[in-house]
Each structure stands twice: as structure tokens, then as C-alpha cells.
Amino acid sequence: MALSLAPSSSIYVAGHRGLVGSAICRALAQAGCTNLLTRTHVELDLTDQAAVRRFFDEARPDFVFLAAAKVGGIHANNSSPADFIRDNLLIQTNIIDAAWRNRVKKLLFLGSSCIYPKFSPQPMKEEHLLSGALEPTNEWYAIAKIAGIKMCQAYRKQHGFDAISLMPTNLYGSGDNFDLHSSHVLPALIRKFHEAKINKLPEVEIWGTGTPKREFLHVDDLASACLFLMDHYSSTEIINVGSGQEVTIADLATLVSEAVGFRGELRYNTTMPDGTPRKLLDVSKLSALGWKSQIVLRDGIADTYSWFLENALVARR
Ligand code: GFB
């Protein structure tokens, strides 16, 4: 049975300073939810089991949005596999267990589209989970996220804990990470094109061949889906959250260069990995529940570029 968020509900947003967590906080505030619990990394180290248990014992939230995670783009995933698998396993295990122990009414766990096999049929349906080998550049992160899904399912099966798991596609938007080593492709391209324009450079380097396809979802759309599913979904089955639209990296580069106003050349560095060739989510399950994304990619890129310009000095660069 689905539960409803009320203005007075006590809601813990884990990872409230990140791309996803900050968008969820904005959406909750817009929905009139005023009783939000947040803790910075300095106040609460989510990899510390005893500290997480203490926090839940004291704070006793009714609802939990588990948006805290170690995330990054293809290069970060590929070069720090130990950090990605360790931090994500610890964070999600500590929170899911402490939430159940403290009788949280409902928990929403965020996975990722990279949990699906590298050569999954497209678009990828929820039932394609664990049907083939993973993409090697991010299998460490993917395995941690799959463990999170299984933990939610196990706690529901054994304890009746209402934990749901959402699989978002590639995200972007206000508050993104613009560090060129650790970011995802969209914020990286915004920064590269912007700096090339300012410095009057003749070309911008794009990693890989430009042929992989990716589906992008604005983080405000994801936050809207999170609130919708917290209210309307209660199941052991995972559910995809995407825009249903994919573009090649080359087409994305053209869109971003137009938004930024860069007129030089694109140079493809094929010594950098492409990653999975395609990962388009099948969003028919979510559509059938009555939710669809609102922000088209061109508008979302313009919005993110504006955020970058206004926040460039404080953005994580
Ligand atoms: O966004 P991205 O880093 O992650 O890269 P993934 C997507 C594609 O863009 C790859 C290419 O083919 C990259 O080679 N690309 C081109 C670039 N130029 C750049 C650039 O300057 N920076 C970056 N970062 N990429 C991640 C996973 O996979 O996606 C995570 O590693 C997670 O686990 C996340 O699932 C959503 O889409 O390949």
C-alpha cells in the first residue's frame, strides 16, 4: 500500500548537497514539506555504521530518500573502482538497515541505468536486470547498486520493510559536478566549450568516438518522479526513470556547443573509453502509472549552462 508524504512528515534526504539530493529537497519544499532532516558529511559520515545508527535513533524520520552515493563519470568509475564499490556498499547498507531498525515508514533507494548488462536489449526493461555481463568501466559501481536493490528486496521479503528502488538514467542539471576528471559527459562538455570560447581555443576534445548513445534526464524531472513514486509506488520490483529519448555523444556535443556559443572544431580522443554503446531505459512501467518527464534536453542544457555561469566560482571544479 502506497503512503503519502504530508507537509508535516519527517523526511530524511541523504545526500542533500549532491545533484539528486538537492533537487529532491527543492521539490519537497515546493510540495510544502517543511520537516526535512539533512546532515552534511562533516556532521554525519554515512560510511560509519555506528554514527548512522545513532542518527536514526535520535532523528527517527518517517520517510527516507537515499540519494547519498559516490558517483562520477566514466573516467572516475574506471580509475577508482575500490572507492566506488566500498563507499556505495557502506552508505546504502548502513542507511537501509538503520531505517528498518527505526521503523521508517518508507525508503526510496536510487540505483542507476548501469545496473543493466552492457549488451542488454534496448530499450532496457526492468526484467533485464542480472541477465548478462556488466559494462567493465563501471561494474564496481553497478554491483554496489545491484546489492542495494537486493537489500531493499530482502528487507521487504523478510521484514515487510517498504523500500522501493528507482533506476534513473544519466542525470544532469543545477548543482552538477563540473570537474573534468570526475564529472559526467554533459557538465564536462559545458565547461570545456565555455572555457574554449572564453580562451578563443580552436578545438575541444571529446572523449571516445562520439558514437555511444545516452539518454539524459534533468534532475528536476527525477526529483518530481521520486516524490510521485514515494506516493504512488510500493513494490519489490525496480522501476526505471528516464526521458525515453537518446542522443549520440556527437549530437550532444553539437547541442552543448550551440548552447554555449562555441564555434570551433571537435576532436575525438579515441584513447578514452566509450563505455556501453547504448543504454536507453524502457519507461513504459512508469508511464503507465501516470508520470512523464517535462524538461526537453535543449532547455535543460540551457538551464544547466546558466547555473554553471552563475555558480562557476563555487562549482566543484
Ligand atoms: O557521462 P559519462 O562519463 O558516463 O560518459 P557513462 C558518457 C560518454 O561520453 C562516454 C563520453 O562515451 C564518454 O567517453 N565523453 C565524451 C565524455 N567526452 C567526455 C568528457 O569530457 N567527460 C566524460 N565524462 N565523458 C557513467 C557510469 O557511465 O554513467 C556511472 O560510469 C553511471 O556508473 C553514470 O552509471 C550515469 O554514461 O559512460
Digitized pLDDT (tens) for each residue of the chain, 317 residues in all:
456 899 999 999 999 999 999 999 999 999 999 999 999 999 999 999 999 999 999 999 999 999 999 999 999 999 999 999 999 999 999 999 999 999 999 999 999 999 999 999 999 999 999 999 999 999 999 999 999 999 999 999 999 999 999 999 999 999 999 999 999 999 999 999 999 999 999 999 999 999 999 999 999 999 999 999 999 999 999 999 999 999 999 999 999 999 999 999 999 999 999 999 999 999 999 999 999 999 999 999 999 999 999 997 564 44
Binding-site residue numbers for NADP(+) are 15-21, 110-113, 145, 168-171, 184
pTM: 0.97
Q: At what angle do helices 297-311 and 249-260 cross, to 10 degrees?
A: 50
Q: Which grid coordinates belong to 270?
A: 579515441
- At residue 260, the pLDDT reads 98
In terms of Cβ atoms closer than 10 Å to its own Cβ (0-12, 13-18, 19+), residue 8 is exposed
* 82 Cα: distance to centroid of ligand 1 (angstroms): 18
- At residue 4, the pLDDT reads 81
> Which of 141, 167, 207, 217 has the most ligand 1 atoms within 8 A of CB, as the residue to mutate?
207
* 70 Cα: distance to centroid of ligand 1 (angstroms): 15
Class (C level, CATH) for 11-176+216-244+279-295:
alpha beta
Secondary structure class of 3 (helix, strand, coil): coil
Amino acid at 104: V
- At residue 1, the pLDDT reads 45
Kindly list the domain boundaries of the chain, sorted by start residue. 11-176+216-244+279-295
12 given a catalytic annotation: no
- At residue 317, the pLDDT reads 44
Secondary structure (DSSP) of 43-70: T--TT-HHHHHHHHHHH--SEEEE----
